[in-house]
Amino acid sequence: MKKTGIWLDKDNAKIVTLENEKVTVTTVASNMDHFHVKGGSGSKGKGGPQDVVQDSTYLDKEKQQLKDYFKNIVSKIKDTEALALFGPAQTNEKFSKELHDNYADLGSKIVGLKKVDSMTDNQVKALVKDFFQSM
């Protein structure tokens, strides 16, 4: 049985695959732009010039980049039989939702969704092994 655990954030995904006592780790970079919106006034005086920020433009761009990132991850895990998702923020939850909404066959294979902080490759391997051993 092929089991896959993925630790992901907005920068990269570490895909750990367990199959017949063999463990492989693959890293997928997100290639996402990190938008730093500059706001506020250009001068300290009352009524000074202000930057107009188009939040919707940044959010739309980020959504599209996330979709591309998730699509790239999906291409690496198509043949898994059990899937566990880990990550520090909401990226793993967004990925889970994307799987349920657009990749129902993979969405149905999710057996765990857990928040965990940043980890090294070895820590991710140990986390995934422990998770599937305790099932």
The 10s digit of each residue's pLDDT in 57-115 is 878 888 899 999 999 999 999 999 999 999 998 999 999 999 999 999 999 999 999 99
**3-33+49-133, CATH topology level:** Nucleotidyltransferase; domain 5 (3.30.420)
Domain ranges for the chain, please list them: 3-33+49-133
Tell me the residue ranges of DSSP E strands in the chain: 3-8, 12-19, 22-29, 82-87, 110-115
Cα torsion angle, 122, 15, 23, 17, sign: positive
Burial class (CB in 10 A: 0-12, 13-18, 19+), 85: buried
pTM confidence score: 0.83
Confidence at 121, pLDDT banded by 50, 70, 90: very high
